[in-house]
Structures are given as structure tokens and as C-alpha cells.
Chain A
């Protein structure tokens, strides 16, 4: 095993054509086991090697977890619908109302955008609200005045006017939402829920 094979001497420029034919250095025959190195050197080398890898990787990893560490956008506040209680029919006929709110998209904020819609009913002066999203698979639930029910055109889910299901297609009744009346105006705590489960779980 000769070092000269793989290491040209430093004056090879003077006789460049004498460069020996390439002999792959160490892989032809397994080299003799290197002498046992001082354990300290091995530990240090491994330790420092790990440090220079772990530091950037963990900084990057924490940065990646930023959505968990820095929560943005507190959801679930009451939103005014721009509609007074008096504006709802007294006979309890459902009214569909668009919910508008500021949409925050990471660094952008778009004021007063439609974010969903709700069915509102007034019963003896009390207002109840349902999300129009069908708890089955997320289509928009319609009101059928003739049948006097709520009906989803996608998979024929049907609900009575109190939101209870009247067939077995939806897994649960319509999702009711909290309503607040402030100075005669209707406010709704707009939320969306996971579809296709019997439990009402906010998304």
C-alpha cells in the first residue's frame, strides 16, 4: 500500500507526464484497522459533529412549528349580521343571512368578506340560528317552504324547522349556533363543524 500512488509529490508540475496511472487508493484491499484512537477524540468529534447538525436542524424545526407556537386569529367571536330582530318574520319562517367578517390570510386582511351563511328563525321573540352547511357532507341546506322543512339537494338530507333530522342520511341534526341580541341587532357566533360525524365537533 503506497501513498505515492494517490498523492503526487509536490513537484509533479515539473514532470507532469510521469503521473502514475490511477490506482484507486484504499478500496482495493480493506485497509488494516486503524489504530485505536483516543476515546476522547472520538467522543469530541462525534459530539461536535452532532452539535453542528442539531443546532440548525432544531432552529429550523421550531420555525416550522411556528403555527403551534404563535397562534394567530382567535376564532369564535360574535359577529353582527346587520339585521334587527324586528326584521325577522314573526311566524318563524327561516331567513337565510350571509355572515360577513374580516378575513385574515396570514399577512393579508380583507375587511367585510362573506365567510358563510346561517338560517335564522324567530320563535316567540327568540332567535335561533343554524349553520347552512349540511352536517352530512358539507353542501348548503335549502329551505323548502312547501314541505316546511330544511333539505339538502346533494344527498337528500332533510331536517325539520327545529333542525332535527327527519331521515337517516345526515349523521346529526343541523348545527345550531349561539345567538346574541345587542340593541335589537342579531349577532351570531359563527362556527363550522366537522362533517359526517354524529358528534358536533368544531373544526
Chain B
């Protein structure tokens, strides 16, 4: 039955002969492992077709949906991370296999007559594969792909004469937009695979016409493609598949934070197989010759030598030259790639940028995974409006020139300054104001009550550097320092231990941060309030009441421009208080003429101020991202700058 059906089909299509020709191609000298590379390339391309078409069914090319759809594929869809992982790593496998295939063709002389045309077809195929890699890199619309592709299109734009036009056509406009993704996607999923299939068909046709380039015809008895070579090919493909699958499962395709034009991405690098070019362009002498030289002329010249190989092979020693040329270029590529990787791994700034990108990538998954899901404006707004993400950046930008956060600049880095005597060196800068990581905590309140002079001691550095208002900065001479010395003495009496705890509990309770309600011991708070108002302590001592100077403490915070330079402590350390203080610390309500801190009310937008304050008081969606490790112990404490790094 089946047999007759096949005969019927064969009579009309000639499929038997076709199959026969496909399977029983002669392999002189026997099946060899060295012949598997072409087949593994076809296999990885099939992998890309399969996974690519399925990804296509879940991908949305626009600036507000590309990252979001990839996030959804990766995190929410069944086996989505595996499908994307296969696509991601098979693309890289394809590049590696392509390089092996090409090198083998050259050293085996398989590019020589009569196979010139097939070599050229192969070169075209290589360019198509690289173009697929380049266009695919942008599609997730994450920071990594966005900034790497910006470099590619800028290089395109640097092409003499037609560059700017070509760039605009590729981008679908003068800047990246929805259309950039539409165009890249059409290239990546339509035009380039179509071209690849067409050229692959030609490549195979011409390959079959000339047959395999036999390395050693006497290696073994002649055989046919099926089944001996097929078995070896299948084993090799299985090996490739295993590697790709393992990488997909255990490493996974990266998805960095959503592309954000307003957020520089210091960790930007091209995909690793373009790193050599990236590193080449970074040489000063290359840079000095202009972008077209390094990015267009040199690679163009190398490609020209490659393309001319079938012709130059006819010259005396031509083949030898070609083999040497191939090895030298390969060594150059491997060397430059290694150099780039080595330099990056030893570049603290780059590593910090990668660490921060990882944090953001982790954070955006937390935010996108909330029940509120992703707003239609896109996931990038989640990060832009997230205090946990933006607070440290704002702190580093506005506050960290004087303050520190647990010893660092808010983003886990030292604050550096140029060395005063040797301008070529940098050193860890001394803080000139208080470390704010503990702001509003019990530790903070205890520091103010018991050891005011040292709590704000970093301010002395400001005086040390600038000699500004020295007399105002003698913290030991300030009224509060005197009061603090009294408090320290009285409270160090063990009888008053509980009362000190109560006072601190009361002071902390003023802040009313989110989730604070259940944190405080209400009987302690009540007792603390009495002490603050001057009630006698357990030891019988009576303290100078806080309200003698800070007469609004305990009441509702109101923004005024009145007061006598004794900071208003109504709702001290609350969001309202912080915003008012940061906006204008020199107001009569706060430090008045004794103030040294700039007013940020005009330097920051209300949105920025809100984000900074919400970060400081921990008012943000819960996170599992680890806080930056404390760097407090690594900061020099001496008044004079100590040299480092």
C-alpha cells in the first residue's frame, strides 16, 4: 500500500531519485569526522529557524513592547527561557562553527578551482549570518543590545559619502524608534533568513556538483553519505545540541534592563564575537585614523583578501600565503578578543557597571512581576519611577560629594578625588558630611543624643579643606554638643538605661515611615515623650528638655520659614521633614546661618526629590537585591587625605 503510494508519488515528482542523490553521494576515502562542520552549520541554522519562528509568535517589535514581550517569553511562558536560550546560544555556536568551517576550507584548499564560486557563496553566507547576529542583538530592546547596536549604526553612519543616508534607512529615521525595531525585525526574521536559504541552496548545489574535497582518498574504502557520514554528522549535531541546551538551561540568555536613552549604560559591549573589532577600534592609533579606517577600511581590506583567495591561490605560493593569512588573522582575532576580555575583567569601573546592570536587571523583574504588572508606557518607566533604583543614582549625583552612604557613594563605589599634590593620581575622598545610611534609625538618634560632636564629625573635614566658617564648625563648641555631653553623662548611668531606650524609641517614632506602625513599643514611646518634655529620669536627674530649643518636636510638621536656627524636629526624619530639609536646609526652620549644605529645592525636580527621599526611608516595593556591602571601614578617618589607588 505504502509502496504503491510512493511509486505513485515518484512517478509524478521523481522524489526517489532526488532522495537517492541526496543520500548516496560518494564519499571517497570513507566517512570522516572532519567532514561534519558543514552539516552542523545547517543543523544550527535549522535550530534557529525552529526556535526563531516560535519566538516570532510571542515577540512584539516596538519600543514599548519588545523588552516586555521578551520578558514575558523568558519569565512567564512555558519553556520560554529554553527556547530563547537555544536561539541565543545556537547563534553563537553558528558563529564558531562558521569560523571552523571557513578555516578548514582554506587550509584544505577547498576554495580553489573549481570551487571558487562556492567559496564566494560561502563568504556571502557568512556575512548574512553575521548580519543576523547583529540585527538579532537589538530585538530584545534591552540596555545591552540598545547601546551595542547604537555603535553599529553609528559606524554605518561613518561610511564615507552614503553613510548618513544608509544609517537613517536602517534606523527608519534619524533616531531609534518603533520603526528601528520593525526594520531590524523584518531584516532578522524575513529578508536575511530568506537570503540565507537561497544562498545555502546554491552553496549546496554547487557543493554537490564538485563533490567533497577529499583530504586523504586512501584513508579508508570509499563509502556513501548514507549512512556512514550521516551517523558522524548526527553525532556531531547532537554534540552541538547538547552544548547549546546545557548553556540554555544552566546559563540562560541574558536580558538586561529595558533600553533607556536617559540612562547611560557603562557596561555596553558588543556580542563577544564582535569584541575583537571593538577592541581594535579602541587602539589610540586606530582611533586617531578615524572611525572609517578601523571599522570599515581595515575589515574591508581583510574581507577583500579573503574573497580574492580563490584567485590568488593560482599564484606561486598563493595557497601558502592564504593559509598563513588565515592563521594570522585568526590569531589576531583571538588575541584581540582575549585582550578585551582580560582588560574588562581587570577594569573595576566596568565590573561595577556590570554589577549595577545585574542589579537593575534583577530589580526590573521584581517590578514587572508585581500584581500591577507592566504599564502600557513600557517597563522602562518602572525603573525610572522606582526609588530603590533611582535613589542611589540621585544620591551619587547630588549628595555624595559630601555625604556617604555606608561608606560609598550610594552605588557601591568609593568617592574619589584628585590628589592635592599629584594631579595624576586619585584617592579616596574624605567625607565632608555625615554618613546617611543609618539616617532616622535608632543608631542615628543615639548618636545625636549621646555623641553629637562625633556624629556630625565628618563636617570638620569640610572646614579642614575649605577653611569655611571655621568657628561655626567647631562641633564640640556648639550648643547641641554641650547638651549632648550632659545627656551622655546622665544616660551612661546604668539606672537610666531603660529611659535612654525610651527616649530613642520616641525620637525614632517621629519619622512614621511605611510599615513603622507595628515596629515601636508604645509604652517605651510614651515614656520617651515624657523624658523629651523634661520628666525626671530613673536616677532622679532632670534633663534640659528638648522642647526648650526644638519647640515643635512632637507636633505635626508644617513648612514655614520661621525658627531660630534650631532645627524643626516636628515629625523628624519623616518624608515631609526630609523633603523640606533637603529643599532648603538654610531656612530659619532648620540651620539658618549655621547651615553649610546647599539648598536642593532648585537643583532637583520634585520627582527626583521624592525618589531620593523614598529611597532614604525605605519606601519602595520590596526587593531581594542585596544592599551594597558597607565600605565604611575602608574610608580613611584621618583629617589629612591618605593616598590610595
* Contact of B43 with A19 in the complex, beta carbons under 8 Å: no
Q: Does A49 contact B (CB under 8 A)?
A: yes
Partner-binding segment picked from A1-9, A84-92, A122-130, A164-172: A1-9
* Contact of A109 with B373 in the complex, beta carbons under 8 Å: yes
Residues of A within 8 A of B69 (CB): 106-107
Q: Does A46 contact B (CB under 8 A)?
A: yes
* Contact of A8 with B77 in the complex, beta carbons under 8 Å: no
* Contact of B231 with A63 in the complex, beta carbons under 8 Å: no
A105 CB, nearest partner CB in chain B, Å: 8
* Contact of B319 with A22 in the complex, beta carbons under 8 Å: no
**Known: A27-B21, A52-B241. Is A41-B71 also a contact (CB below 8 A)?**
no
* Contact of B26 with A31 in the complex, beta carbons under 8 Å: yes
* Contact of B83 with A45 in the complex, beta carbons under 8 Å: no
Q: Does B384 contact A (CB under 8 A)?
A: no
Q: How far is the CA of A30 from the CA of B17 in the complex (A)?
A: 9
Minimal Cβ-Cβ distance residue in A for B79: A63
* Contact of B213 with A34 in the complex, beta carbons under 8 Å: no
Q: How far is the CA of A49 from the CA of B42 in the complex (A)?
A: 13
**Known: A7-B214, A31-B24, A109-B373. Is A16-B72 also a contact (CB below 8 A)?**
no
Per-residue contact bits, chain A 50-67, to B (CB 8 Å; 1 contact, 0 not): 011101110111111110
* Contact of B114 with A7 in the complex, beta carbons under 8 Å: no
Q: Does B284 contact A (CB under 8 A)?
A: no
B230 CB, nearest partner CB in chain A, Å: 4
Minimal Cβ-Cβ distance residue in A for B235: A48
Minimal Cβ-Cβ distance residue in A for B225: A34
Q: How far is the CA of A32 from the CA of B480 in the complex (A)?
A: 106
The listed residue (B58, B113, B222) touching A3 by CB distance below 8 A is B222
Query: How many positions in chain A have a CB within 8 Å of any CB in the partner chain?
Result: 50
Q: Does A203 contact B (CB under 8 A)?
A: no
* Contact of A59 with B231 in the complex, beta carbons under 8 Å: no
Per-residue contact bits, chain B 234-254, to A (CB 8 Å; 1 contact, 0 not): 110110010001000000000
Minimal Cβ-Cβ distance residue in B for A42: B227
- How many A-B contacts at CB < 8 Å in the complex? 156
* Contact of A41 with B212 in the complex, beta carbons under 8 Å: no
Partner-binding segment picked from B49-57, B559-567, B606-614: B49-57
**Known: A7-B212, A108-B375. Is A25-B26 also a contact (CB below 8 A)?**
yes
Residues of A within 8 A of B76 (CB): 70, 107
Per-residue contact bits, chain B 108-145, to A (CB 8 Å; 1 contact, 0 not): 01001110000000000000000000000000000000
Minimal Cβ-Cβ distance residue in A for B229: A45
Q: Does B620 contact A (CB under 8 A)?
A: no
**Known: A7-B211, A26-B24, A52-B43. Is A104-B109 also a contact (CB below 8 A)?**
no
Residues of A within 8 A of B82 (CB): 59, 63
Q: Does B80 contact A (CB under 8 A)?
A: yes
Per-residue contact bits, chain A 88-123, to B (CB 8 Å; 1 contact, 0 not): 000000000000000011111111000000000000
Minimal Cβ-Cβ distance residue in B for A34: B224
Minimal Cβ-Cβ distance residue in A for B51: A60
* Contact of B80 with A44 in the complex, beta carbons under 8 Å: no
Minimal Cβ-Cβ distance residue in A for B115: A8
Q: Does B194 contact A (CB under 8 A)?
A: no
Q: How far is the CA of A6 from the CA of B113 in the complex (A)?
A: 11
Query: How many positions in chain B have a CB within 8 Å of any CB in the partner chain?
Result: 65
Q: Does B598 contact A (CB under 8 A)?
A: no
* Contact of B21 with A26 in the complex, beta carbons under 8 Å: yes
Q: How far is the CA of A136 from the CA of B211 in the complex (A)?
A: 67
Interface positions of A from 120 to 175, Cβ below 8 Å from B:
none
Interface positions of A from 60 to 88, Cβ below 8 Å from B:
60-66, 69-70
B216 CB, nearest partner CB in chain A, Å: 9
* Contact of B228 with A37 in the complex, beta carbons under 8 Å: yes
* Contact of B114 with A8 in the complex, beta carbons under 8 Å: yes
Minimal Cβ-Cβ distance residue in A for B68: A107
* Contact of A34 with B72 in the complex, beta carbons under 8 Å: no
Q: Does B260 contact A (CB under 8 A)?
A: no
Residues of A within 8 A of B109 (CB): 10, 12-13
Residues of B within 8 A of A65 (CB): 78
The listed residue (B26, B77, B319) touching A70 by CB distance below 8 A is B77
Q: Does B217 contact A (CB under 8 A)?
A: yes
The listed residue (B28, B58, B376) touching A7 by CB distance below 8 A is B28
Q: Does A24 contact B (CB under 8 A)?
A: yes
* Contact of B57 with A64 in the complex, beta carbons under 8 Å: yes
**Known: A56-B86, A69-B78, A109-B374. Is A48-B68 also a contact (CB below 8 A)?**
no
**Known: A45-B234, A107-B69. Is A16-B314 also a contact (CB below 8 A)?**
yes
Minimal Cβ-Cβ distance residue in A for B232: A45
* Contact of A34 with B209 in the complex, beta carbons under 8 Å: no
Interface positions of B from 305 to 340, Cβ below 8 Å from A:
313-314, 318-319
* Contact of B21 with A59 in the complex, beta carbons under 8 Å: no
Give the residue among A7, A41, A56 with the most B Cβ atoms within 10 A.
A56
Q: How far is the CA of A55 from the CA of B249 in the complex (A)?
A: 14
**Known: A26-B21, A46-B227, A48-B231. Is A66-B80 also a contact (CB below 8 A)?**
yes
16 extra A-B contacts, CB within 8 A, seeds A59-B51, A64-B57? A3-B214, A10-B215, A16-B313, A25-B25, A25-B209, A26-B21, A26-B24, A31-B26, A45-B227, A45-B228, A48-B234, A48-B238, A63-B58, A63-B82, A66-B58, A70-B77
Q: Which residues of A are interface residues toward B (Cβ below 8 A)?
A: 3, 6-8, 10, 12-13, 16-17, 19, 22, 24-27, 30-31, 34, 37, 41-42, 44-46, 48-49, 51-53, 55-57, 59-66, 69-70, 104-111
Write 7 A-B pairs (CB below 8 A) sorted by A numbering.
A10-B215, A13-B318, A16-B314, A25-B211, A48-B231, A60-B50, A108-B375
List of 5 A-B pairs having minimum Cβ-Cβ separation, nearest first: A48-B234, A6-B211, A109-B373, A45-B231, A45-B227
Q: Which residues of B are interface residues toward A (Cβ below 8 A)?
A: 20-21, 24-26, 28, 43, 46-47, 50-51, 53-54, 57-58, 68-69, 71-72, 76-80, 82-83, 86, 109, 112-114, 208-215, 217, 222-224, 226-228, 230-231, 234-235, 237-238, 241, 245, 313-314, 318-319, 368, 371-376
